[in-house]
Amino acid sequence: MPDLTPFGFTPTESAAYGALVRHGALSGYALARALSIARANAYQALEGLVAKGLVRRQAGRPNLYRALDPQAAFAKIAGHQAELLDRLEQQLRRQEPGGEPAIVELTGRRAVLDLSLKTAAKSPDPVRCLAPLDFLAALAPAWNKRKAESLSTELWAAGEPADTRGLAISGWVSPERLAGYLGHADAGILLCGRAAIVATLNPGQTAAYWITLPFIAGLCAATFHLLTQNEPAASSPG
């Protein structure tokens, strides 16, 4: 049964959605029997799911409730969460500067990719990024946006020279050189203003640190410079 509670759904709504996916369209009475809960609680959960867009009500006697399929439900929840995060980001950007610099750990490829994409796409500051080519390609919407807005962007690919997939690659950093400085051949660095993201981008275990501590962010910038100086410029087709 999917657990929807971390995304603003009540436990009963989460259980009701799972039951509708398993059994198909149900009335409030049938759902109450399936979950062994009071009929009033079943109807309350159903109306909550209707309001949140995961269930559709079919008029009749009695009314029947049908769940969106799981992929559609995921898209609905992901879109809503993205909207909430965008709203929060705008509110935080309007705050006066303050608070303590920090190092924040992230785990999972989706979290690292989403943060990198938002950071690169929305920053007015120069952005420099060194990462494996597939990760740079996944950030293509950010690079295209920055190019359209004539914002300074410098991309370096980690790995052996290959097709650049249409990206404006400044050069390549060998896996051996990257591992020598960062301890991983599949690591990456993104520099943006006074912040830095340092990540290990192994497909099976992706993790990253968002860094605003000036000293550590400065070390990241210095490491980026050392890694990219005297490295070959991109000359492969792409």
The model's pTM: 0.71
Q: Which fold has domain 5-73?
A: Arc Repressor Mutant, subunit A (1.10.10)
Give 26's DSSP letter: B
Q: What is the pLDDT of residues 159-215, one digit of tens each?
A: 888 888 889 999 999 989 988 988 888 899 999 988 999 999 887 788 899 999 999
Q: What is the pLDDT of residues 152-175, one digit of tens each?
A: 999 999 988 888 888 999 999 998
Q: Is the dihedral of CA 164, 168, 174, 178 positive or negative?
A: negative
Q: How far apart are CA 112 and CA 187, in angstroms?
A: 12
Beta-carbon contacts of residue 1 (< 8 Å; ≥ 6 apart): 14, 15, 18
Q: Which pLDDT score is estimated for 236?
A: 45
Which one of 3.30.300.10, 1.10.1040.10, 3.30.870.10, 3.40.50.1860 gives the CATH number of domain 99-228?
3.30.870.10
Strands in 103-107's sheet, in edge-to-edge order, are: 103-107, 205-211, 195-202, 187-192, 127-132, 153-158, 169-173
Q: pLDDT category, 237, cuts 50, 70, 90? A: very low
Q: How far apart are CA 31 and CA 47, in angstroms?
A: 12
Hey, where are the domains in the chain? 5-73, 99-228
Among 41-50, 141-150, 170-179, name the one with the lowest average pLDDT: 170-179
Q: Which pLDDT score is estimated for 233?
A: 60
Q: pLDDT category, 94, cuts 50, 70, 90? A: confident
Percentage of the chain lying above the pLDDT 70 cut: 95
